[in-house]
Amino acid sequence: MQSSIVLLPGDGIGPEVVAAAERVLRLVADRFGHRFEISSHPIGGAALKSGLPPLPEATRAACQEADAVLLGAVGDPAFDRGSSEGRPETGLLQLRQALGVFANLRPAKVWPGMEDGGPFKPELITGVDLLIVRELLGGIYFGEPRGIAKDRQSAFNTMRYSRPEVERIAEVAFKAAQGRRKLVTSVDKANVLETSRMWRRVVTEVAADYDDVELEHILVDNAAMQIVQMPERFDVMVCDNMFGDILSDEAAAVTGGLGLAASASLGDKGPGIFEPVHGSAPDIAGQGIANPAAMLRTVALMLGHGLGEHEQARAVEQAVDWALETTHTPDLGGVATTQQFGDAVLAALS
């Protein structure tokens, strides 16, 4: 077995958690006889600081040739006041477009033994296991026209979706639900937005091809409330780009925090982008205390969804679960360092 992986450490704590991921990949290679060709490239603020655009052409080309892309984090306060073209986050949006990754999978699950890890009472979140399927290449983040008035006293963005965009993300959600509890909850704002009314109609039509899956529609504000009040009732939630962005972070917080949440961004073909949900966390960058669990769970998603190595994925998942029981970083109330958590995962994998 041989796979090429592009590492994009990025900004803030990104290089620290990516370093932990690379250590795990090296051990997986030794244990399973899987050869990884690993290369590292700049993106985001790290690229801008070198005088490059947020997505350098060499980085784009390397990602397009790889089997999978593993991203640390993008975002640097030093560039917060720049134009869109000069912001680190633009590099990630451009990469998603370049690779055609339209489906963002965001699992939110409470693992046994981690019921006390979040801000909610254990009895509220015990057994929570939901998957948010977020459309990633359309909606208000990419719609045209957009802009800022010349006098800078007004600005506008366009929320736009086409039928094919909604159909393909709905297909991903229904297929995922078939392997889970067979419930799809489609999130929209159909009482206000024309795009949401079309979204609801198209998702309903796609549902006709999945007789074994139940479909329900829910307004986004109600969805946000129910994720807090009764998160265990959800199975697969399918959302547009902006709603999915917001609700997936909320679900992550309910189930233990962004330091535990992984994600996979997939397209019809070509490499996927795999990244932890947390941001660059510049306030703790360089201190060696970032929780790498989300990144290491992301490695498991990459192995399973990106490379088809499900046994390797399960081994990494189990090792991370074991480390979470024994080694707590500061975000989980402990004092373990990034290095120590990585050591615990490696020990469980060995």
Q: Which of 19, 104, 93, 24 is nearest to 53 (CA)?
A: 93
Q: What burial class does residue 85 get, using C-beta atoms within 10 Å of its C-beta: 0-12 exposed, 13-18 middle, 19+ buried?
A: exposed
Show the tokens assigned to 299.
């490695």
Opening angle at CA 98, ends 97 and 104, nearest 5: 50
C-alpha–C-alpha distance, residues 10 and 88, integer Å: 9
Ramachandran angles phi, psi of 142, nearest 5°: -120, -10
Catalytic center residues: 141, 189, 221, 245, 249
Integer angstrom CA distances of residue 181 from 102, 111, 175: 23, 17, 11
Omega cis (within 30) before 145: yes
